[in-house]
Amino acid sequence: MWKNKRKILLLLIDIILLNIAYFLAFYLRFDYNIPHQYFLLYKKTFYIVVTVTVVTFIFFKQYNKIWRYASLHDIMDLIIFTTIGSAMAAFVLLFLQIHLPRSIYPLYWFLSALLIGGSRIAYRSYMENSSKVKVKNIKYKKVLIVGAGDAGRILVREIKNHPETGLKPVAIVDDDVSKLHRSIDDVPVVGKIDDIQEVITEKEIDEVIFAIPSAPRTVLKKVIDKCSEMRIKVKTLPAIYELVDGTISISSIRDVDINDLLGREPVKIDLEEISSYIKGKKVMVTGGGGSIGSELCRQIARFSPSRLIILDIYENNMYEVEQELKRKYPELDVICLVANIREEKKINKIFSEYTPDIVFHAAAHKHVPLMEVSPHEAIKNNVYGTLNLVKVSDLYNVNRFVMISTDKAVNPTSVMGASKRICEMIIQEYDKKSKTEFVAVRFGNVLGSNGSVIPLFKKQIAEGGPVTVTHEEIKRYFMTIPEAVQLVIQAGAMAKGGEIFVLDMGEPVKIIDLARTLIRLSGFEPDVDIPIKIIGLRPGEKLFEELLISDDKYVSTKHEKIFIEKPVSVDYGDLILTLEKYKDKIDDMDEDEIREFIKSLVPEYNPDYQRSLMEEVAATEIE
């Protein structure tokens, strides 16, 4: 209601101002003494001129704008539309054969633009000043802004317009030398990013806000490192691709998250290629309630499959995913099925009924130490569950089957890693005889996934520590969930059958460095406020993960972050026959026998890795 009243009020003000502009055009033209006949001409024509100009404003939606946020671009638009309105008014008068002194037209245009534009600027200025809440006895935090670009400029203005936030921008740093010693809204650009520590000391800064949404994450990390040394908290704006409508506001400011530092630049995916193989197809996601599986469902839904079949043994997470998808994609046909991939008859029945075109297989036991204690379950679920899915996919002519694998499958030291290596072998060997295109995608740790180290560290920090790290030298590859899933879907689009796609994970990260960074991001100092405790490698864990079985056995693809590992020849008949032979004997084996069984299938499996490592360390200490 108030919005309509405000529009009507603005329109009435414009009518008055345009009438004043038209009268002043006559007044100035005749040197402050309008002849009687021209005054009558003014009275005869003012309503025509004003009406045509106002109709022009309405046509160009000038009364739909929120003028308290008017920018220079909006004012320029207003001048353009005033020009059009003035020209249209002149055309109408000429059409009606009403002739004015020629100088009236430019005078009317100039005065209209001046009065209308001035009224908008005055309104914005009034609203800005009236919105500044004066809060007594508030102690402002002195803020250093990193970035003197558009985002920094908008952020400075937003902070100044919202004093209730308790923030006060006092300085800006930027690596663009042309901006040094200038100012934005009276906030000076005092130096480069390398000068942050000196600026913090000199200006007594309480908080730093990183305002370069398009900057590489290496720049943000540089800022974090410099500020953490001085125990200054850093906040940031989202990356530019996270800003849904490009709008920057006070609410956009957030704490720096570990994803900001470990994730890389946004993944470029071929939307057309992905859409062509998913759109209109029946897509199944196994393990669809898990962290990877649920993100697969979210991203697949964007590409309009005819049906999305979510299969998981745990109903709670799957139910939440189903509800989310139905809210976001009400037209999408989502089917949720509770089933165990180990049950061959059940899986056969599901494929017979729903006949998926594409299968993304993310269901698996993935916790390394737990699978060391329960190796039988790892083999039954990961290996035989995958074999069941592969067999029925071949039987029902699934077009494409994409299995999620892990870097732990390379030269495995754990039961979980070895079980996933067997799955890769099944995929590659079954592809040789099947019409289905079977492929696997291999990557490392995923930030924020269920059971990953980040949630554990956050919980330990919240409890006051200690943060537990298994070894000083342990390193891992990391990738964000959305990035990993986008590359999985992209790899699926590139599949021709039999490939093991390997994702570029960037450089491996030392877990102890990750722990220190997370502690600092939480506002504490490692080993001072929050201790770090070394607890020793867990069962099945190794110091370094690998992505390729052999460094020289990979080929590039058209996507810069996706590679293909050259297949290792395995006799398909022997592998499948062996698996079928021992299928009903797994539960009868003891743990040593199950490990021997795994080693017979995966010769590079090394369950004695940790003992060998300890012997090497002991030998080094003796020397």
Cα atoms in the 13 Å half-sphere on the side-chain side of 248: 24
Domain boundary among 101, 130, 159: 130
Which amino acid, one-letter code, is at 165?
A: T
Distance separating alpha carbons of residues 520 and 223, to the nearest angstrom: 13
Whether residue 524 lies inside any domain: the answer is no
Query: Same structural domain for residues 424 and 368?
Result: yes
Query: Same structural domain for residues 333 and 247?
Result: no
Q: How confident is the model at residue 66 (pLDDT cuts 50, 70, 90)?
A: low
Q: Is the pTM of this model over 0.75?
A: no
Q: Which residue has the tokens 């079985």?
A: 549
Pick the residue with more confidence: 251 or 15?
15
CATH label of the domain that carries residue 249: 3.40.50.720
Whether residue 541 lies inside any domain: the answer is no
Q: How confident is the model at residue 171 (pLDDT cuts 50, 70, 90)?
A: very high
Which amino acid, one-letter code, is at 412?
A: P
Q: Where in the sequence is the domain holding 571, given as residue range(s)?
A: 271-445+478-505+546-591
Domain boundary among 199, 221, 256: 256
Catalogue the active-site residues. Answer: 408
Distance separating alpha carbons of residues 350 and 334, to the nearest angstrom: 15
Mean pLDDT of 433-452: 80
Q: How many residues does the chain have?
A: 623
Query: Same structural domain for residues 182 and 55?
Result: no
Burial class (CB in 10 A: 0-12, 13-18, 19+), 159: buried
Whether residue 471 lies inside any domain: the answer is no
Q: Is 220:155 a contact under the CB 8 Å cutoff?
A: no
Whether residue 381 lies inside any domain: the answer is yes
Q: What CA–CA distances, in Å, run from 448 to 209, 420, 539?
A: 24, 21, 22
pLDDT digits (tens, 9 = 90+) for 506-560: 777 888 888 888 888 777 888 888 899 998 887 777 776 665 544 556 676 777 7
Q: pLDDT at residue 139 above 50? A: yes
Cα atoms in the 13 Å half-sphere on the side-chain side of 4: 1
Task: Measure the CA angle with vertex 380, ends 377 and 385; round to 5°.
Answer: 130
Q: Is 356:283 a contact under the CB 8 Å cutoff?
A: yes
Q: Which of 203-217, 377-391, 403-417, 550-564 has the lowest mean pLDDT?
A: 550-564
β-pairing verdict for 167-173 and 187-191: parallel
Query: Same structural domain for residues 228 and 354?
Result: no
pLDDT digits (tens, 9 = 90+) for 560-619: 777 777 655 555 568 888 898 888 899 899 999 999 999 999 888 988 865 555 545 444
Which amino acid, one-letter code, is at 218?
A: T
Query: Same structural domain for residues 252 and 287?
Result: no
Q: Is 498:439 a contact under the CB 8 Å cutoff?
A: yes
Could you tell me the sign of the dihedral formed by the alpha carbons of 413, 415, 420, 422, in that order?
Answer: positive
Query: Same structural domain for residues 432 and 368?
Result: yes
Whether residue 433 lies inside any domain: the answer is yes
Q: Is 107:28 a contact under the CB 8 Å cutoff?
A: yes
Paired residues of 167 in beta bridges: 141
Query: Same structural domain for residues 419 and 499?
Result: yes
Q: How confident is the model at residue 501 (pLDDT cuts 50, 70, 90)?
A: confident
The mean predicted confidence, pLDDT, of the chain is: 83
β-pairing verdict for 532-534 and 467-469: parallel
Q: How many structural domains does the chain have?
A: 3
Domain boundary among 226, 256, 286: 256
For helices 591-601 and 572-582, angle between their N-to-C axes, nearest 10 degrees: 160
Q: Is 275:489 a contact under the CB 8 Å cutoff?
A: no
Query: Same structural domain for residues 115 and 25?
Result: yes
What are the helix (H) ranges across 238-362?
A: 258-262, 271-278, 291-301, 315-328, 344-354
Which amino acid, one-letter code, is at 364?
A: A
Whether residue 424 lies inside any domain: the answer is yes
Whether residue 522 lies inside any domain: the answer is no
Whether residue 511 lies inside any domain: the answer is no
Q: What CA–CA distances, in Å, run from 82 to 9, 25, 419, 506?
A: 19, 15, 73, 55
Query: Same structural domain for residues 275 and 314?
Result: yes
Query: Same structural domain for residues 59 and 174?
Result: no
